[in-house]
Amino acid sequence: MKTAHDCIPCLIRQTLNAVRLATPDEKVHISVLREALQAVSVMDLNLCPPLMGQHIHRLIREQTGSPDPYKSIKDMCNRYALALFPELEAMIRASADPFEAAVRLAIAGNIIDFGANIEVDQAVIRDTIAASLSEPLNGDVPALADAVRSAGKILYLGDNTGEIVFDRLLIVRLPAGRVTFAVRGGPVINDATMEDAIATGMTDLAPVIANGSDAPGTILDQCSDAFKQAFDAADLIIAKGQGNYETLSGNRKRIFFLLKAKCPVVAGQTGCRVGDSVIAQSSWP
Amino acid sequence: MKTAHDCIPCLIRQTLNAVRLATPDEKVHISVLREALQAVSVMDLNLCPPLMGQHIHRLIREQTGSPDPYKSIKDMCNRYALALFPELEAMIRASADPFEAAVRLAIAGNIIDFGANIEVDQAVIRDTIAASLSEPLNGDVPALADAVRSAGKILYLGDNTGEIVFDRLLIVRLPAGRVTFAVRGGPVINDATMEDAIATGMTDLAPVIANGSDAPGTILDQCSDAFKQAFDAADLIIAKGQGNYETLSGNRKRIFFLLKAKCPVVAGQTGCRVGDSVIAQSSWP
C-alpha cells in the first residue's frame, strides 16, 4: 500500500515513541527525530510506510549503538505470552470451533505491538484475549479454512514477539507438513526474528525461515532468494499484522491478512474500525 | 515555554489538520506537510511552539493563495457563540458567584479551537458549557478577583473566534474603564482579529488593540510598539488559551492564564490533566 498523508504525522509520533523505548538519552531522541523529519519530508509516497519504518529503526539502532535495542522488551513479550499459552490452548479446546478460535486468538496476539502503539499493557492484552472469541470478526473464516484445506504449501508470515506464541495455536491446527513459518531477517523494533522462533518453540512445530530483511513487514525486493522462492512456491500465504498488510496488500498471491486494525488508514482500507479484528484477502489471482 | 519533544509530532499532525481545513487540494496538503517537516527538522527547541505554528500557517496562506483560509469557519464560530450568548448570560445571572461563573465560562469558550484539535463540534462545546460551572477548576479564582480589584490597567489577551464572545461575559464584569482587549494583528488559523472584535460586539465594551503579529500567541518581539506599550503599562494581564500561555509563560509580568489544557505538555506544566480548565499564574514579580 502507498503511504497516506495520515501516515506522516503517525510516522513522526512512532519515531519518538520508539526512540524513547530504545534509550533514555534525550539527545538521541531529538537527533533521531530530526533525521526522521528530514527523511519523511522527501519520502516517496508511492512506497509503503514500513520502508520509512525500516529507515527510522536503522537510525535508532545506529544512534543508540545497539543492534537490538528492544531485546529486553521482546524477551519479556515472549515470556509473557508463553505463560499465557496453556490458558489459550484450553480456551481453544473448550470452543465449538477450534480452528476459528485459533484464528481469533492468533489475531488477538497481534495486539502485542510496540510499533503502532506503545501503550499496550498487560490489561489490554488480557481484555483483548477475553473478547477475542465472541467479538465480531471482520472476515471470512470459512474461506480461510477452505484455502487452508486446498493449499499444498502454506507460508505463514509472523509479525511480533509475544504474538508469535499465539501463532503457535494456529500453526498446530494447519495441515501437518505443509506449513513454513517466516520471521524478519534482522531485529526491527519488537518484530520476531529466528531467535524468537527458537525461544518460543516455533521451530519445533514447523520449518522456520528468515526473510532476509530488517523491514517491519515483507518488502519482497529486499528478501533473500530462499525466502522469495518459498513465497513464490506457496499456494497460500497467511500474513500477520499491519506491517505485512502494508507491504503486501497489493500482491497478487493468495494472501489472507490476519491483524488488529491499529490505525484509521488500514481500518479504512480493510473496511473496519480501529481496534477491530480483521481477516483481509488479497486480490487473487 | 520551550518546544518539547512531544510538540514535534503534534506540530506535524496540526499542520495536516489545518491545511485540510484550509483547502481540499491534496497537492497543497502534501506540499505544506513537506515544508513543515523540513522546517521542524531544523527548528530551535529553545523557541516556543507558536513560532513554528506561525511559520506553518504562513505556508498554508501562501500555498492556498488565501490571506484568511479559515474566514468562513471563524464567522461560523462567532455566529454560533453569539447565538449562545443570552443563555450564557442567564447562567451567570443565576449563579451565586457571577464573577467566578464568568471566569469559568470564559475558560469554557477556549474549547472552540481549531489549532489544537479540529474535532471540536457543537456537542462538545455544549457539554463543556454544561460542565463548566460545576467542574473542578485548576486555579485560584479569588486571587484573580483580588488582582482585578487592585489593578489600574488590565490588558486582556484574546484567543479564538467564537471564544471572544465568551470573553465578553467576563469583560463586562471587570472594572469599567480599566480594560483593554487585544487581538492578533493578522489572520492565523481561527484566532480572533480586529474584524472579529467588531463582529462580536467586543469593540462596544472596551478599547480593542491589534498586537501587530500573526503568531498564534503573543510573541512580544514581533508585536507593534503600541501593543508593547499597553503590555508594559498593564498592572495585570489576563491571557486566554494555550497559544498565549506557550508564548508568555516565562514572562515576569503579572499574568493570569485562562485556558483549557489541550495537550499533555501544557497539562504537565500547569499541573493538571488534558481537558481540565486552568487558571495558571506567571512567576511574578
* Among the ranges given (B118-122, B199-203, B215-219), the one the predictor scored with the smallest mean pLDDT: B118-122
Does A27 touch chain B if contact means CB atoms closer than 8 Å?
no
DSSP 8-state symbol, A118? T
Does A176 touch chain B if contact means CB atoms closer than 8 Å?
no
From the list A5, A40, A41, which residue is nearest B16 (CB)? A5
Closest CA to B194 of A169, B186, B266: B186
Cβ pair B5:A16 closer than 8 A: yes
Helical (H) or strand (E) element with B51: helix B49-64
Does B41 touch chain A if contact means CB atoms closer than 8 Å?
yes
Over residues B76-119, the pLDDT tens digits come to 999 999 999 999 999 999 999 999 999 999 999 999 876 555 55
CA separation (Å) from A104 to A90, A159, A271, B96?
Answer: 14, 15, 18, 57
Query: What pTM value is reported for the model?
Result: 0.93
Find all residues with CB under 8 Å of B217, minimum gap 6, and list them. Answer: B48, B50, B53, B243, B244, B245, B246, B247, B248
Closest CA to B187 of B67, B279, B48, B44: B67
Asked whether the beta carbons of B87 and B165 are under 8 A apart, the reply is no
- How much is the pLDDT for B273? 95
| φ, ψ at B138 (rounded to 5°) | -80, 85
Does A38 touch chain B if contact means CB atoms closer than 8 Å?
yes
Beta bridge partner(s), residue A183: A210
Q: Which residues of chain B have a CB within 8 Å of the CB of A8?
A: 12, 16, 33, 37
Pairing of strands A236-240, B154-157: unpaired
Separation in Å, CA of B219 to nearest CA in chain A: 25
Cβ pair A40:B37 closer than 8 A: yes
Does B73 touch chain A if contact means CB atoms closer than 8 Å?
no
3-state class (DSSP) for residue B209: strand
Q: Which residues of chain B have a CB within 8 Å of the CB of A25?
A: none
Cβ pair B5:A42 closer than 8 A: no
Complex-level ipTM: 0.91
Does B47 touch chain A if contact means CB atoms closer than 8 Å?
no
Pairing of strands B277-281, B255-260: antiparallel
All 3 cell numbers of residue B173?
Answer: 464584569
Pairing of strands B236-240, B255-260: parallel
Could you tell me which chain A residue has the CA closest to the CA of B15?
A9
Cβ pair B33:A5 closer than 8 A: yes
Separation in Å, CA of A6 to nearest CA in chain B: 8
**Upstream peptide bond of B285 is cis (omega within 30 degrees of 0):** yes
Q: Is A46 exposed, middle or buried (0-12, 13-18, 19+ CB in 10 A)?
A: exposed
Q: Rounded mean pLDDT of B194-213? A: 98
From the list A12, A26, A45, which residue is nearest B8 (CB)? A12
Asked whether the beta carbons of A132 and A104 are under 8 A apart, the reply is yes
Cβ pair A30:B6 closer than 8 A: no
Q: Is the model's pLDDT at B160 over the cut of 70?
A: yes
Q: Is the model's pLDDT at A227 over the cut of 70?
A: yes
Over residues B114-153, the pLDDT tens digits come to 655 555 678 889 999 999 999 999 999 999 999 999 999 9
Cβ pair A12:B9 closer than 8 A: yes
Query: What distance in Å separates the CA atoms of residue B169 and residue B181, rounded to the nearest whole number?
Result: 13
Closest CA to A82 of A197, A225, A241, A228: A197
- How much is the pLDDT for B123? 85
Pairing of strands A154-157, A179-183: parallel
